[in-house]
């Protein structure tokens, strides 16, 4: 019998993502990959997986997953309120996020809603037994490639597991939620900031911009004050890196994310520093941001600091109690009494 997680009820937009399809942009292939690489890496680390193992990116609302395996260890990272249904018609029991859980055959994990963010992540110990496309399991739904049949999950889908049962070991949890930072989103000017007037550049860094309803894995269109060009909006098409900020003729910025096109013909006023890309991947329509410029050297130092903090967070994982409180197995292993007086 194949070990798998079966989608008993689909979520809103759930896809398999790893850290991206790297090295194929010259062929016109977008990188795709996790919107929030920090959360995916934490989920994989909790499960003991390599950092680039594919997990489930949960968009707004997650699925109900039926365990069709002897056992499976999952890690949920992000602002979720998951539930466990132990048998049909049983009332769901609340679970914690930012930790691992050991699930057994016949149980249903109700992933639930993502609160205050656009994404959260689920990893499984050992990963999913699915074929890679161009070296990656990341789903690029616009082209129908990668992940599970190149699309978001639907009811009835069965995700094969690489392990027939969970590895031994304690459950783990984050000591505290990871700090993504706050304040303005850091950007590096260019590559076509000379296509904008001094007034336009000031408008860009001195104004609040609101996430519009046109926000998805390809990019985020912002609403706010228009940015003045000096040489026009159009350029000869060139490559588009992660976090590039295009400003078309209407003067409103568009931040391009994982599913972005590989080339484009609009001038790019700035590029989001990689340290803040996970923050962009979590934004919801209606939220506001402000942009502030940093140098390349400052952006590199910020990313190094973030990587160091991520390493400390992983090194600081704690043992997690089972749902409901006391771990009786571990309790019985302890020598709680060192003497008796009659």
Give a yes or no: residue 228 inside a domain: yes
Strands (E) across 49-110 are located at 55-59, 64-68, 71-77, 83-85, 93-94, 99-104, 108-110
Contact call for residues 63 and 12 (beta carbons, < 8 A): no
Of 140, 173, 206, the one marking the end of a domain is 173
Q: What share of the chain is helix, strand, coil (3-state, %, to 5)?
A: 15, 35, 50
Q: Does one domain contain both 200 and 257? A: yes
Domain span at 34: 4-173
**pLDDT at position 87:** 87
Q: Does one domain contain both 137 and 194? A: no
Report the alpha-carbon distance of residue 72 to residue 270 in Å, rounded: 44
Q: How many C-beta atoms lie closer than 10 Å to residue 225's C-beta?
A: 14
Q: What does the radius of gyration of the chain's CA atoms come to, in whole angstroms?
A: 22
Give a yes or no: residue 308 inside a domain: no
Q: Does one domain contain both 13 and 152? A: yes
Instruction: For residue 40, give the H/E element and its range.
Output: helix 37-47
Q: Which regions in the chain score pLDDT beneath 70?
A: 323-342
Of 173, 204, 239, the one marking the end of a domain is 173
Instruction: For residue 299, give the H/E element and its range.
Output: helix 296-315
Supply φ then ψ for residue 325, to 5 degrees.
125, -110
Q: Does one domain contain both 166 and 213? A: no
Give a yes or no: residue 332 inside a domain: no
Q: Does one domain contain both 139 and 59? A: yes
Give the domain CATH number at 206.
2.40.100.10
Report the alpha-carbon distance of residue 284 to residue 35 in Å, rounded: 13
Contact call for residues 30 and 80 (beta carbons, < 8 A): no
Number of domains in the chain: 2
Q: 3-state class of 283 per DSSP?
A: coil
Give a yes or no: residue 231 inside a domain: yes
């Amino acid at each position: 019998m194949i070990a798998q997680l079966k989608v008993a009820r689909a979520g809103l937009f759930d896809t398999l993502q790893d850290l991206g399809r790297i090295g194929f942009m010259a062929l016109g292939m977008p990188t795709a990959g996790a919107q929030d690489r920090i959360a995916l890496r934490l989920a994989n680390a909790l499960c003991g997986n390599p950092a680039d193992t594919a997990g489930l990116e949960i968009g707004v609302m997650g699925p109900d997953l039926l365990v069709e395996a002897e056992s499976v260890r999952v890690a949920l990272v992000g602002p979720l309120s998951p539930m466990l249904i132990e048998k049909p018609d049983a009332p769901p029991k609340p679970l914690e996020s930012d930790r691992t859980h050991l699930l057994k055959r016949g149980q249903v994990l109700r992933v639930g809603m993502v609160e205050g963010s656009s994404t959260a992540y689920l990893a499984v110990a050992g990963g999913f037994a699915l074929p890679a496309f161009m070296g990656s399991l990341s789903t690029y739904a616009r082209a129908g490639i990668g992940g599970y049949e190149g699309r978001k999950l639907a009811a009835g889908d069965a995700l094969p597991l690489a392990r027939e049962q969970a590895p031994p070991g304690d459950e783990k949890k984050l000591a505290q939620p990871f700090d993504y930072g706050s304040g303005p989103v850091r950007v590096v000017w260019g590559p076509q900031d000379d296509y904008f007037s001094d007034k336009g550049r000031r408008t860009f860094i001195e104004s609040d911009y609101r996430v519009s309803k046109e926000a998805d894995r390809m990019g985020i269109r912002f609403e706010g004050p228009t940015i003045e060009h000096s040489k026009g909006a159009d350029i000869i098409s060139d490559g588009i890196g992660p976090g590039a900020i295009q400003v078309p003729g209407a003067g409103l910025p568009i931040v391009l994310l994982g599913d972005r096109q590989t080339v484009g013909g609009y001038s790019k006023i700035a590029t989001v520093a990689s340290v803040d890309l996970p923050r962009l991947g979590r934004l919801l329509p209606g939220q506001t941001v402000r942009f502030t410029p940093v140098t390349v050297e400052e952006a590199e130092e910020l990313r190094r600091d973030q990587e160091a903090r991520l390493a400390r967070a992983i090194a600081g994982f704690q043992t997690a109690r089972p749902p409901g409180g006391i771990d009786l197995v571990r309790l019985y292993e302890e020598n709680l009494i060192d003497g008796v007086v009659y």
